[in-house]
Amino acid sequence: MANFQFKGQTNFYSGKVRDVYTINDDILVMIASDRLSAFDVILPRTIPYKGQVLTEIAAYMMKECSEICPNWLEVVPAPNVSIGKKCHPFKIEMVVRGNLTGHAWRTYKDGKRALCGVQLPDEMKENDFFEKPIITPSTKAVDGHDEDISKDEILKQQLATESEWFILEKYALQLFDKGKELAAKQGLILADTKYEFGKINDEVYLMDEIHTPDSSRYFYADRFTERLKNGEKQKQLSKEFVREWLMDNDFMGKEGQAVPNITDKKVEEISRRYIELFENITGQIFIPKIIDEEKLYKVITNTLNKMG
C-alpha cells in the first residue's frame, strides 16, 4: 500500500492491517489494507477485498449504533477508507463476551476460573452462553501482544478513572446488546467482540471498527443448540477459523515458530469467508470494488478539502 502525503498531514502510522493518517491533529484518514494478522503477526499473504469488507461493515454498524454513543466516523469516501474525528484513545480494549469461546475457552480449559478479574462458573462447556455478557479488558499494545487486565488494574494504572470506566462499561454492554440484536435478525449469534474508545475534550467516543470479523466472533444460530449438545464445532464467521488453522499447523506467534504456507486456495477460502460475513451481517450483496492508488489519493484529497 502506498505511503501517501496529504496537505496538513501531521502524523502517519502503519498498523497491522491499517494505515492511519492524521490531518491537522484533528482528523484521521484510516485506510484498511488487505493484510491479515493473527496472534499479533502480519501473515505473508493479503486477502482480496478484506479491507473493503471491514470498512463497509464497520460503517454499517456505526450507523446502526449511533444512538447509543457518539462515534468518530464522519464519511466513507472509498471502499476501504474511513475519515473522522481524532480522539485521545484509552489504552485498553473493552472485550465483551456472551459465550465461552476463543481465548476465554482456552483459559477455562487450562483450569483457570478467573479471567480479567471476572469469576467464571464451574462446569461450563465450550461455546456455552454466560448468564449475562462479561467484560474482559485487555491492554492496547502498540507492538507485541495485548495483555489481559482487570478493572482494578485499569484503575490502579490510571488507564481510566472510575467515572470513565462507568461510561466505558455502559457503552460496551449497550453496543454488545445492539450487536446481538442486529446479528439475530440475520440468523447469527454475536459471541464476543471488542470496542475501543477515546475522548474529545471530556466526551467519550467510540473509535476504530465495530462488529467486524477482525474484532468479533459470530456463530450461525441455525443448529447452534444441537451442535452444542452434541459437542460439535460451531459454524462461525470470524477470524477464529484462521487462528485454528494456524494452531493446527503449530503456529501461535511464539518465538521460533514459522508461519505455515498459505496457498492460493486458502487465500480464496479466507476471502470468501469475509465476504460471507458481510452479506450475512448486513443482509446486502457484496459488490467488489477496486480503486487504484492514484484515484484513491484524489478521492481522499477531495474529501478532505470539502471538510475544510
Tell me the per-residue pLDDT of 165-216, one tens digit each, with 9 for 90 and over.
999 999 999 999 999 999 999 999 999 999 999 999 999 999 999 999 888 9
CA angle, residues 114, 118, 120, in degrees to nearest 5: 55
Dist CA 133 CA 98 (whole Å): 4
Could you give the CA distance from residue 185 to residue 166 in angstroms, rounded to a whole number?
Answer: 29
Q: What is the CA 3 to chain-centroid distance, rounded?
A: 23
pTM equals 0.89
**Longest C-alpha distance within the chain, in Å?**
59
In a domain, 157, yes or no: yes
The verdict on residue 108 lying in a domain is: yes
Q: What is the CATH number of the domain that holds 175?
A: 3.30.470.20
Flag whether 269 is in a domain: no
Residue 103 counted as domain residue: yes
CA–CA dist 248, 257 (Å, integer): 13
Please give the pLDDT value at position 142.
Answer: 59
Distance CA 271, CA 165 (A): 37
Q: Is residue 25 part of a domain?
A: no
Residue 59 falls within a domain, yes or no?
Answer: no
In a domain, 308, yes or no: no
249: CB partners within 8 A, 6+ apart: 260
- Count how many domains the chain has: 1
pLDDT of residue 144: 55
Instruction: Give the pLDDT confidence of 103-123 residue by residue, as tens digits.
Output: 999 999 999 999 999 999 999
User: Which of residues 224 and 242 earns the better pLDDT score?
Assistant: 224
Q: Which residues form the domain of 143?
A: 89-241
- Mean residue pLDDT of the chain comes to 93
Q: According to the model, what pLDDT value does residue 267 have? A: 94
In a domain, 302, yes or no: no
